[in-house]
């Protein structure tokens, strides 16, 4: 197999220097229009393909933005990724995606791996990281954006919302409906950290309102999904009758819980209320519609893209930007 076609080859064929080819291909106006045209044509004829790797190497700019998600198989995170991806379309940046499987150790390994690609910015889902991850990131002069949370001690920029205050809205809503005895259905402690924030939010809000202690219902280790919600209700058995509402960590979990309630002949919401989180499609299509919390997953991605645009354009100012996209209660028919 013959050697690959480089700018050199194009230059030789046209009778100019490689520099001129480089300029021409970038549509540099200082290159004679005719020459530019000729170069483009010859490049095409020779089957020249631009080498981004060489460019990244020479300029020390990879054109990558690294992104970590807890799971790619999650409609909310996928929407965030999509928003980011679409919003970044203009800037020519490419996303380098990795999934942590909800584990901070895995995140550390992933960050280490992603950093070897010299990303120009890194987007981390969540605000919990290992010390080593923090060290790795602060050793570099790299914009860091944490999303889907409002960390107490951010690494840099933030685009997220308060999981605790979102849950407070749910608890308040339930209390107003006369639902006092709450069960929280989520992953075991210490695996899903966003889930843990939500649980803490429920407990705090219930205490604040003087409700009885929240019953914690362990649905297994993260990621918890529909089947875990169903299993949790099934495991509860008759104990479910001592609760007024099942506050679930996410809509899939809530849907699983709702389905299992139905199977067991429980009427929702008359026998028990069920709430979710995330305003997934299933919440609004399910019959009955599930009461949930709307989070603007897609907008988080778009806000991040906007922030990155500003950062790359040098228009972001010096201070870390903290964007709270908020959340809102979306009442359904299950409460």
Binding interface with a second copy (CB under 8 A)? 1, 47, 49-54, 56-57, 62, 72-73, 75, 78-79, 81-82, 85, 94-97, 99, 112-113, 115-118, 136, 139-141, 225-227, 229-230, 252, 255-256, 259-260, 262-263, 281-282, 284-287
Single residue of 1, 2, 27, 30 touching DNA by CB under 7 A: 30
Establish if 191 lies at the interface with DNA (CB under 7 A): no
Tokens of 188: 């075991």
**Number of shown-chain residues binding DNA (CB under 7 A):** 28
Contacted entry of DNA, a second copy, none for residue 17, CB cut-off 5 to 8 Å set by kind: DNA
Cα angle: 282, vertex 83, 160; to 5 degrees:
80
**What residues contact 330, with CB distance under 8 A and at least 6 apart?**
279, 283, 284, 291, 292, 293, 294
Single residue of 41, 44, 54, 72 touching DNA by CB under 7 A: 54
Establish if 17 lies at the interface with DNA (CB under 7 A): yes
Minimum CB–partner distance for residue 323 and a second copy (Å)? 22
Establish if 112 lies at the interface with DNA (CB under 7 A): no
Tokens of 96: 């380098």
Minimum CB–partner distance for residue 278 and a second copy (Å)? 13
Closer of 57 and 331 to a second copy (Cβ)? 57
Minimum CB–partner distance for residue 212 and a second copy (Å)? 29
Establish if 8 lies at the interface with DNA (CB under 7 A): yes
**What residues contact 233, with CB distance under 8 A and at least 6 apart?**
185, 240, 246, 256, 257, 260, 261, 264
Minimum CB–partner distance for residue 112 and DNA (Å)? 14
Closer of 48 and 255 to DNA (Cβ)? 48
Establish if 122 lies at the interface with DNA (CB under 7 A): no
Contacted entry of a second copy, DNA, none for residue 82, CB cut-off 5 to 8 Å set by kind: a second copy
Contacted entry of DNA, a second copy, none for residue 6, CB cut-off 5 to 8 Å set by kind: DNA
Establish if 55 lies at the interface with DNA (CB under 7 A): yes
Contacted entry of a second copy, DNA, none for residue 31, CB cut-off 5 to 8 Å set by kind: DNA
Establish if 26 lies at the interface with DNA (CB under 7 A): yes
Tell which residue, 66, 61, 69, has the closest CA to residue 144: 66
Single residue of 1, 27, 47, 60 touching DNA by CB under 7 A: 60
Cα–Cα distance, 119 to 106 (Å, whole number): 18
Closer of 44 and 50 to DNA (Cβ)? 50
Is there a cis peptide before residue 223, judged by omega within 30 degrees of 0? Answer: yes
- Cβ neighbours around 273 below 10 Å, total: 22
Contacted entry of DNA, a second copy, none for residue 273, CB cut-off 5 to 8 Å set by kind: none
Tokens of 212: 């009885």
Establish if 22 lies at the interface with DNA (CB under 7 A): yes
Which spans of this chain sit near DNA (rule: CB under 7 A)?
Answer: 3-4, 6-8, 15-20, 22-23, 25-26, 29-32, 35, 50-51, 54-55, 57-60
């Amino acid at each position: 197999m013959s050697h690959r076609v480089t700018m050199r080859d194009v230059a030789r064929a046209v009778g100019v220097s490689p520099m001129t080819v480089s300029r021409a291909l970038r549509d540099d106006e200082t290159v004679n229009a005719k020459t530019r045209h000729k170069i483009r044509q010859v490049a095409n004829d020779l089957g020249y393909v631009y080498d981004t790797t060489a460019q990244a190497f020479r300029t020390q700019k990879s054109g990558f933005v690294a992104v970590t998600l807890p799971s790619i198989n999650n409609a909310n995170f996928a929407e965030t990724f999509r928003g980011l991806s679409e919003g970044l379309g203009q800037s020519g940046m490419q996303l380098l995606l990795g999934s942590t499987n909800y584990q901070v150790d895995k995140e550390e390994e992933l960050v280490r791996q992603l950093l070897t690609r010299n990303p120009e910015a890194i987007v981390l889902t969540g605000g919990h990281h290992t010390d080593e991850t923090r060290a790795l990131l602060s050793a570099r002069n790299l914009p860091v954006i944490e999303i889907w949370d409002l960390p107490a001690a951010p690494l840099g920029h933030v685009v997220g919302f308060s999981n605790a205050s979102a849950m407070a809205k749910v608890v308040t809503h339930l209390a107003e409906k006369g639902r006092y005895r709450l069960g929280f259905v989520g992953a075991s402690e210490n695996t899903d950290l966003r889930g843990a924030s939500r649980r803490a939010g429920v407990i705090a809000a219930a205490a604040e309102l003087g409700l009885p202690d929240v019953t914690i219902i362990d649905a297994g280790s993260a990621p918890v999904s529909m089947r875990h919600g169903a299993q949790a209700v099934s495991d509860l058995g008759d104990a479910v009758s001592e609760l007024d509402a099942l506050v679930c960590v996410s809509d899939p979990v809530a849907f699983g819980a709702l389905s299992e309630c139905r199977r067991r002949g429980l009427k929702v919401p008359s026998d028990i209320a069920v709430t979710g989180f995330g305003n997934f499609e299933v919440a609004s299509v399910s019959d009955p519609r599930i009461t949930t919390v709307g989070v603007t997953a897609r907008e988080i991605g778009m806000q991040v893209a906007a922030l990155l645009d500003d950062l790359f354009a040098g228009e972001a100012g010096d201070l870390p930007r903290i964007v709270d996209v908020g959340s809102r209660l979306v009442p359904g028919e299950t409460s």
